[in-house]
Amino acid sequence: MTNRPLVEVRDLHVRFRGERNVHAVNGVDFALNRGEVLGILGESGSGKSVTLKALLRLLPERRTEIKGAIRVGDEDVLALGPEALADFRGKTASMIFQEPMLALDPVYTVGQQIAEAVERHEKCGAAAARRRALEMLERVRIPSPERRLDSYPHEMSGGMRQRAMIALALACRPQVLLADEPTTALDATVQIQILLLLRELQRELGMAAIFVTHDIGVAVEVSDRIAVMYAGRIVETGSVADIVRRPAHPYTRGLLASTVHGAMRGRRLDAIPGAPPALSEAPASCSFAPRCGEVQPECHARVPDAVTVAPAHLSRCLRSVAAGG
Amino acid sequence: MLVYLIRRLLYVVPIALAVSVVCFSLVHIAPGDPLVSILPPDASQALVEQMKKSYGFDRPIPVQFAIWLGKIAQGDLGTSIATSRPVLQEITKAVGNTLMLAFAATLIGFTLGCFFGFVAGYFRDTLVDRIAVTVSILGVSVPHYWLGMVLVICFSVLLPWRPPTGAGPGSSAAWVWDWEHVKYLILPAVTMSVIPMGIVTRTVRALVGDILSQEFVDALRAKGLTDWGVFQHVVKNAAPTALAVMGLQLGYLLGGSILIETVFSWPGTGFLLNAAIFQRDLPLLQGTILVLAMFFVVLNLLVDTVQTAIDPRIRRG
């Protein structure tokens, strides 16, 4: 086996056409090794979910323009024909969604929905697919799985629905799991259970995973590496320790400062002033500059290159000091 | 499911009772004396009184209603004043013809409506969508007696392909399923199908658009379903509402075909109703309206049952 990464994204651009053009993703690069978990952290509209959906080409084709390169395993995702794309989805890479109530078809039972994916990819009979569905429900620890197989999504609780969604996504043993804010719609106590379950299943199955979240706590909990996104670009990547202890980009520092965790009682939280830019034009300079407390004149001149501040720790800020430089 | 069905069946009783009250009293509110049409203009007062007595029109209206209802319970809808034949017999014959026409029209309308609706919903805001929407608006807006006459002019007069009126060769021959008879069904059925076609198109288009914008469609694609696989899910999600709309349309067609049946001289309930109104044939009128109203009640019951069977979420309600 070669030791090239399992997933490689090069210079990914996503633009939505319509009455108003939106440059949602503006040059994203990252790589993911087998068995590794990458957390993509960012606020609403930073392009994190769009990046994730682009990996499965789930964005509406008529209104979306995707440029760059996406490779998962041996597949050049952007070049796949309709048949090959359907074979790739769910088998090589699969996805879990933010709101399981909306992501499950309301008029099919949970068992049918899992078995359907298994039948589709493993070319097995209905009985074998149902057995696999049962086995998956047991794996995600849904109580009385035989009965739940014939339950409809509306008959289950939120946490149980998300477990079912996980069972569905993992039913065909994908090499990489894409999770789009999988715990955001859940109660705080259920969030932890689901995160622990995901982390455990990821290790057991040796999958790679990409977690998209706006919650630093979640990203730290599940990830090996974190990529921080802002206005359609990754502004900083590094190991969890790098990002949390030695943040190099002012935006990352702002995010860390604005968490409740460790804040002093009675003191206002340090919020980042201003709002993210509207992305009707592709930003031609550092898009964080207008909100940045350390802004300098040259920040408005061009898009900063990624600076290697430490091994495998990159920051897209002019003021970041290169390692050993 | 069973409990739901039983409860739903029990609802039918008060509805049916209310319907019968309305049927009976509406006819009595309307002006006109039913006996005028069968008695000679110079009939003596004594004869009029005698006729009134024999039809029971001399008693107070609530008593008439009670007697009428009692007889209905025994399956007797009275005797037609105009033809002196049992109302039930007249209606049964007409209902057969109307059912045939209504089912044929619904079949055409629903099939075309679903086709246009799915195409328009899948290709929203394209040329195909605009064409389908235009066709559906035309379908709903064109007055169907006018369309009926245009079709007769085109396909019976200018191009003598189809017979213009009637329900089969020869006057009152019984219906047979052969081409000679089906030929007569085509024009009225097509005319009648236009409104349900338009309504089903619009409903299905909106449904499909709504379903396709839901996240579970993305999730279905994400697990590797092909377009065909996703389409099956869309159909199952759209089916309950589409069926409900079809059921209601069938109901309208069963009762609302007076104009078309008159244009094509189709001997159905509409034709019968028309005749009963003009002849002030009270027993026939009451009987026909009641039967048509009960059609609606039964049809709604059927639609609800089918919907419940398809959509698991209704069962809990």
Chain segment B20-34, per-residue pLDDT in tens: 888 888 777 776 666
Among chain A residues, the shortest Cα distance to B308 is held by: A107
Give the pLDDT confidence score for residue B12 in this predicted structure.
Answer: 86
Residues A235 and A288: beta-carbon distance below 8 Å:
yes
Is pLDDT of B312 > 90? no
Cβ A102–B312 below 8 Å, yes or no? Answer: no
Closest CB to A102: pick one of B215, B310, B313: B215
* Average pLDDT value for residue range A158-168: 94
Better-predicted residue by pLDDT, A104 or A45: A104
Instruction: Fill in the amino acid letter for A39.
Output: G
Question: In terms of DSSP bridges, do strands A225-230 and A37-41 run parallel, antiparallel, or are they unpaired?
Answer: parallel
Please list, in sequence order, all residues whose beta carbon lies within 8 angstroms of the beta carbon of residue A256, skipping any fewer than 6 positions away. A216, A244, A247
Residue owning tokens 């994730």: A52
- pLDDT tens digit sequence for B89-124: 888 888 888 888 889 999 999 999 999 999 999 998
Question: In terms of DSSP bridges, do strands A64-72 and A75-76 run parallel, antiparallel, or are they unpaired?
Answer: antiparallel
Burial of residue A2 (number of CB atoms within 10 Å: 0-12, 13-18, 19+) = exposed
Instruction: Please state, in angstroms and rounded to a whole number, the distance separating the CA atoms of residues B278 and B32.
Output: 10
* Cα-Cα end-to-end distance for chain B: 11
Q: What is the CA radius of gyration of chain A?
A: 21
Q: What percent of chain B has pLDDT over 70?
A: 91
Is pLDDT of A17 > 60? yes
Is pLDDT of B171 > 70? no
Instruction: Please state, in angstroms and rounded to a whole number, the distance separating the CA atoms of residues A191 and A194.
Output: 5
Mutation for A interface: B223, B231, B310, B314, most A CBs within 10 A: B223
- pLDDT tens digit sequence for A183-213: 888 888 899 999 999 999 999 999 999 999 9
Among chain B residues, the shortest Cα distance to A104 is held by: B216
Confidence of residue A83 (pLDDT cuts 50, 70, 90): very high
- Lowest model confidence (mean pLDDT) among A256-260, B226-230, B260-264: A256-260
Confidence of residue A10 (pLDDT cuts 50, 70, 90): very high
Give the pLDDT confidence score for residue A237 in this predicted structure.
Answer: 95
- pLDDT tens digit sequence for A284-319: 889 898 888 888 888 888 888 888 988 889 999 988
Q: What percent of chain A has pLDDT over 90?
A: 67
Q: Where are the domains of chain B?
A: 89-277
Cβ A154–B313 below 8 Å, yes or no? Answer: yes
Class of domain B89-277: mainly alpha
Confidence of residue B317 (pLDDT cuts 50, 70, 90): very low
Per CB-CB distance under 8 Å, the chain B contacts of A176 are none
Instruction: Fill in the amino acid letter for B282.
Output: L
* Cα-Cα end-to-end distance for chain A: 36
Confidence of residue B174 (pLDDT cuts 50, 70, 90): low
Query: Chain-centre distance of CA B6, in angstroms?
Result: 25
Is pLDDT of A9 > 80? yes
Instruction: Please state, in angstroms and rounded to a whole number, the distance separating the CA atoms of residues B290 and B78.
Output: 13
Spell out the SS3 assignment of A177-222.
EEEECCCCCCCHHHHHHHHHHHHHHHHHHCCEEEEEECCHHHHHHH
Instruction: Please state, in angstroms and rounded to a whole number, the distance separating the CA atoms of residues B16 and A136.
Output: 51
Could you tell me if B60 lies within 8 Å of chain A, comparing CB atoms?
no
- pLDDT tens digit sequence for A225-272: 999 999 999 999 999 999 999 999 999 998 888 876 666 667 777 788
Q: Where are the domains of chain A?
A: 99-173
Is pLDDT of A276 > 90? no
Cβ A102–B214 below 8 Å, yes or no? Answer: yes
Q: Average pLDDT over chain A, rounded to whole?
A: 90
Per DSSP, chain B holds a count of helices (H) and strands (E) of 12, 0
Confidence of residue B173 (pLDDT cuts 50, 70, 90): low
